[in-house]
Amino acid sequence: MARSKGDHEARRRDVSEAVWQVMAVRGFGGLTLRAVAARLGATTGLLTHYFPTKRALVAHALDLLEERTAARPRRPAGEGLDALRAALLDMLPLTEEATRSNRVWVSSWDHVLSDPELSEAHAGRYARSRDALRDKVAAAQALGELPPGDPERTAAGVQSFVLGLVVQALLDPAAFPPSRQIELLDGQLAALARRRPPGDSDR
């Protein structure tokens, strides 16, 4: 029986979902054709039709990670500093879904750093994210909510801050619950605006 294009697309989606599930639980270190096949209830032979090599599987996993991150729900935001804050909150592991997705991002770094081509693709992903932050920083500056200065530098700074906070929160969720993550981010934004952080008092 000939299979339709619709069948093919549906099967591709199933395969992608299985790749995602494996990554969310085991990270990139545990991403193997065998693990994806087991998740899918299929043979590794079938999987090699989609991914002839481990490298092809990893490349698909990275694309999937970028797609899922781009498609994630965003919190509503106003403009200027509020929009910047919302974009940064969207990156933090404040929900179960965001924790899973961040777990996969963090786990991708080890794999990517061993492969110059994958490293370059990853560098491009973070550069695009930084560009989006830069535009938000510039908008906040135009509104007078952030002091003037190089928006590229401020964007690189907040991106670093949030990436590092993601790592800390994943490694030590007890010390970095969502409330603490938000408090730290607001402290960072207050420092950039050069005002006293919310809830802070002289001692």
Q: Toward a second copy, which CB reaches closer, 52 or 149?
A: 149
CA–CA distance, 125 with 131 (Å, rounded to integer): 10
Considering only 33-41, 42-50, 61-69, 112-120, which stretch makes contact with a second copy by CB under 8 A?
A: 112-120
| Shortest distance in whole angstroms from residue 96 CB to a second copy | 15
Q: Toward a second copy, which CB reaches closer, 10 or 143?
A: 143
Does the protein bind a second copy through residue 26 (CB under 8 A)? yes
Does the protein bind a second copy through residue 56 (CB under 8 A)? no
| Shortest distance in whole angstroms from residue 187 CB to a second copy | 6
Q: Angle 54-71/5-26 helices, nearest 10 degrees? A: 90
Residue 192: both structure tokens together: 């950039």
Q: Toward a second copy, which CB reaches closer, 79 or 150?
A: 150
Does the protein bind a second copy through residue 200 (CB under 8 A)? yes
Does the protein bind a second copy through residue 122 (CB under 8 A)? yes
Considering only 2-10, 13-21, 73-81, 116-124, which stretch makes contact with a second copy by CB under 8 A?
A: 116-124
Give the one residue of 24, 38, 86, 163 binding a second copy; rule: CB under 8 A. Answer: 163
Q: Angle 81-91/116-142 helices, nearest 10 degrees? A: 150
CA–CA distance, 105 with 89 (Å, rounded to integer): 16
Contact by Cβ (8 Å): 159, 103? no
Q: How far is CA 135 from CA 19, 23, 74, 150, 163, in A?
A: 33, 32, 17, 11, 19
Q: Toward a second copy, which CB reaches closer, 11 or 125?
A: 125
Helix (H) or strand (E) holding 2: none
Contact by Cβ (8 Å): 8, 85? no
| Shortest distance in whole angstroms from residue 141 CB to a second copy | 9
Contact by Cβ (8 Å): 48, 148? no
Tokens 């940064």, residue?
88
Does the protein bind a second copy through residue 116 (CB under 8 A)? no
Give the one residue of 4, 41, 78, 202 binding a second copy; rule: CB under 8 A. Answer: 202
Question: CB neighbours (10 Å) of residue 68?
Answer: 15
Residues that bind a second copy in the complex, under the rule CB under 8 A:
26-30, 103, 106-114, 119, 122-123, 126-127, 147-150, 153-154, 156-157, 159-168, 170-172, 174-176, 180, 183-184, 187-188, 191-192, 194-197, 200-203
